[in-house]
Amino acid sequence: MIYEVLSVIAPVFIIASVGYFWVQRKLPFDNSTISSLVMYIGSPCLVYTSLTNNQAGNEELGLMAISASLVIFSGLLLGWIFLKTTGWKTTTYLPALIHPNCGNMGLPLVLLAFGEEGLALGMAYFFINSISQYTLGMAISSGQFDPRQLIRQPIIWAVSVVLIVLVGDIQMPKWFNSTTSILAGLTIPAMLIMLGTSLANLNISSIKETLTISLLRITMGISLGLLVINLLGLSGVLAGIVLLQSAMPSAVFNYIFADRFDREPDKVAAVILQSTLISALTLPLLVAWAINF
Average pLDDT over residues 24-46: 84
Mean pLDDT lowest for which of 2-11, 127-136, 219-228? 2-11
Residue that wins the pLDDT comparison between 290 and 252: 290
Q: Please state the pTM of the whole predicted model.
A: 0.82
User: How high is the pLDDT of residue 75?
Assistant: 96
Alpha helix stretches (DSSP H) within 233-264: 236-246, 253-260
Is 117:54 a contact under the CB 8 Å cutoff?
yes
Spatial neighbors of 276 by CB under 8 A, at least 6 apart, are: 101, 105, 195, 199, 249, 250
Q: Is the pLDDT of residue 11 over 80?
A: yes
Can you tell me the distance from the alpha carbon of 168 to that of 78, in angstroms, rounded to the nearest whole number?
41
Average pLDDT over residues 97-102: 93
Secondary structure of residue 25 in the 3-state scheme: coil
* Domains of the chain (ranges, CATH numbers): 2-290 (1.20.1530.20)
Can you tell me the distance from the alpha carbon of 58 to that of 48, in angstroms, rounded to the nearest whole number?
15
Residue that wins the pLDDT comparison between 44 and 194: 44
Q: Is the pLDDT of residue 1 over 60?
A: no
Can you tell me the distance from the alpha carbon of 42 to that of 40, in angstroms, rounded to the nearest whole number?
6
Spatial neighbors of 98 by CB under 8 A, at least 6 apart, are: 72, 75, 76, 79, 132, 136, 137
What single string gives the DSSP state of each residue in 117-185?
HHHHHHHHHHHHHHHHIIIIIHHHHHSS--THHHHT-HHHHHHHHHHHHHHTT----HHHHHHHHHHHT
Provide the percentage of residues in the chain whose pLDDT is more than 70.
Answer: 94
For residues 149, 151, 155 and 161, what is the CA-based torsion angle, rounded to 10 degrees?
180
pLDDT in tens, 183-232: 988 888 887 787 788 778 766 666 788 999 999 999 999 999 999 999 99
pLDDT in tens, 141-170: 888 776 776 677 787 788 788 878 877 778
User: How high is the pLDDT of residue 240?
Assistant: 96
Strand-pairing partners, residue 100, are 250
Can you tell me the distance from the alpha carbon of 252 to that of 20, in angstroms, rounded to the nearest whole number?
14
Can you tell me the distance from the alpha carbon of 256 to that of 268, in angstroms, rounded to the nearest whole number?
9
Can you tell me the distance from the alpha carbon of 218 to that of 13, in angstroms, rounded to the nearest whole number?
18
Q: Is the pLDDT of residue 98 over 80?
A: yes
pLDDT, averaged across the chain: 86
Q: Is the pLDDT of residue 22 over 80?
A: yes
Average pLDDT over residues 68-89: 96
